Structure 1
Amino acid sequence: MSSSRDLLEALVAFDTTSRESNLQLIEFVRDYLARFEVPCELIYNDERSKANLFATIGPADQPGIVLSGHTDVVPVDGQPWTVAPFKLTERDGKLYGRGSADMKGYIACVLALVPSLVKASLRLPVHIALSYDEEVGCLGVRSLLKALEQRPVKPMLCIIGEPTELKPVLGHKGKLAMRCDIHGEACHSAYAPLGVNAIEYAAELIGELGRIGHRLKAPEHHDTRFDPPFSTVQTGVISGGKALNIVPADCRFDFEIRALPSQDPGLVAQELQTYAEQQVLPRMRAVSDQSEIRFSELSAYPGLATDAHSEAAELIAAFSGSGEFGTVAFGTEGGLFDAAGIATVVCGPGSMDQGHKPDEFVSLEQLNGCDEMLQRMLLSISR
């Protein structure tokens, strides 16, 4: 079992939905690497229910290349799959299964390269980095990067294998996800002015958030490399209220900012918080001094903006065979690697058009293309 197709079949069979453990998959990879006498380090979460994996092949005293992928996948609940989501199905040159594109296809290609890496005389090392909980906020990779900080030699390049149809990507937006909890004062709806309607004040805050987002659309804030070319703000979840004849005391909404790499999403959250404290909360407390508005961070990761003239860009152009660099709308762990001082690019098989959807697939052509890209990388770092 060393072809990328066979390895993908094994990887898809593990249900690594973010709410589940990824340990069975990680242990499978550990045992697979052990067959080739490649040691690896497991970095567990606090509950030891999940783990990152890090392995090095080649001279560890030299800066090398990290091949990085996340092991978790999004849920299949409620999706109309026509094939079993955790069993690889081949049909018309496509390989169907949850995570086939996002992003177990890339991991399979990386593992398929291991026998060749072990046999080669490498002048630079290749590191395999697998993380957990990327889909819920790039959580696991943070402890992996913290462990890498302790090493005397830092990698020179990281290739994140998110699905880009093997087109090199040098940039993506950052993300900040926030929650706002509004606490007011309940009363009978016949006496509504005596209460503090948390839903109505939440609506006011959401409206202000929309106005902030509208300002970000102004042409002076645009970066035409991205689609859309501006930072976006949206409210995705709202809940509150008990019954129509009760003025609601509590309401909660979650919102996110997807910011261009040059912009700080925290400034949007801070602007909304200032508006809440200065414009909204005083009116609430004029009725009930128990009123509160609380903001909390749900998740965040930085954007990525690798220089198109950098060594990292030159390397991925050589490996991928394309010097046309793009950006993507979705986020990756790349910004965190870059923030840790490791130049990062995104390039992997498949398309995010299939990611997170029922009947997710990666084509055999894309899988084979990724194998070829990694072989070119191998040749470039061999003596």
Structure 2
Amino acid sequence: MTNVAVINYGPRLDYPAMFPDAKDRLHVFSHHELKNTEGLAHYEYVENCETVPYPELMIRRLAREKPFTHIITDNEYDLERVARMREDLGLPGQSSASALSFRDKSVMKRVAARTVPTARFARLEVFTDLTDFIEATGYPVVVKPVKQGGSRDISVLRGDDDLVAFSRRPWREDLMAEEFVEGPMYHVDAVLGPGYRFVASSRYLRSCLGVFSGENNGSVQLRPDDPFAKRLEEYLDRVLEAFEVPEASAYHLEVFHTPGDELVFCEIAARVGGDRIPVLTRATYGVDLHTAALRLSSGLPADPPTTAAPAEVHGSVSILPQGRPVRLPGRPPFEWVHHYEVNEQIAPDAVTLHSASYLCFVTVRGRDAAEVEERLLQAETWLMEHLEDLPSA
């Protein structure tokens, strides 16, 4: 019988609702305090859960009392330690080697290059590795940590002045450099498992790096019958051919579409996409990505996704923290607005720390990607025009 240990990240995940047939066999250690934990076999909120080894210790101790059949997580930063525990306890699921290939971006690119084009890249051990890479490839160059997410700590060096400024920062030993690729970025979000296949493609409204220069970010879904969506789905399959993959997993793939009509690999994660991606997926397809991925990873069935074409697709735009105190407006007054939400957990004068930072976000619906994008820009303009500056404290 299923007995599952969970290291949870999502602050809104409702495990009793997601696992109504197995909630009394779930042992959940959570980064965030969850609202509904009724009926779980074990639940603990663990402060600093991502960095402390307490969940690993307790899961191993619980396994002595009653062996686990599965250990799962929804958090990219827990993939490796969960994989190690599986191997220690002889459980099925993603291996340590597989987890590393989806976490370490330099390893990831070496693996992906077996089947698809990737941007040129180099792991940086010392500063001269960076200058050598720039000499070989030219500017611009992207420098980023190999295991970070959400566009955190990324630098784009566009010329020598940027390199000099970068050289004044403390050097860190977890960096890589890669060639800057021109063109819009698309993301492909999937859950794959035995007898289960869901794949959806979208285009980022703007570059994820744009948030650090004040550009609001968002995403526009493609219709599943769009020829480019089909091309992206085939591309996902080619990428995954290069990797050791678990029997069941979610995937979040990011890919550039160059002016020369080439698809160039950026990154892939073995997890559900972040930001508004789960919200948009539920709105268009009725699929809860977290529920499907976590149930399949626990050896349990998930409701099959519909094969019918959706009547509409959706998109979202998030309004960035402004770095100054502002009062947010209410819901934009357009009938095609699907959802509007204010971030109650952020200070009015907060600054942008990563690509998922937001003061509020709006989702809209439309018959296709073009209409959705047009409406997103209209809603964004309305929200920005109705932000009200507050007196500084």
TM-score for both structures, normalised by structure 1? 0.26
TM-score for both structures, normalised by structure 2? 0.26
Structure with the greater relative contact order (CA < 8 A, sep ≥ 6): 1 or 2?
1
The structure with the largest alpha-carbon Rg is 1
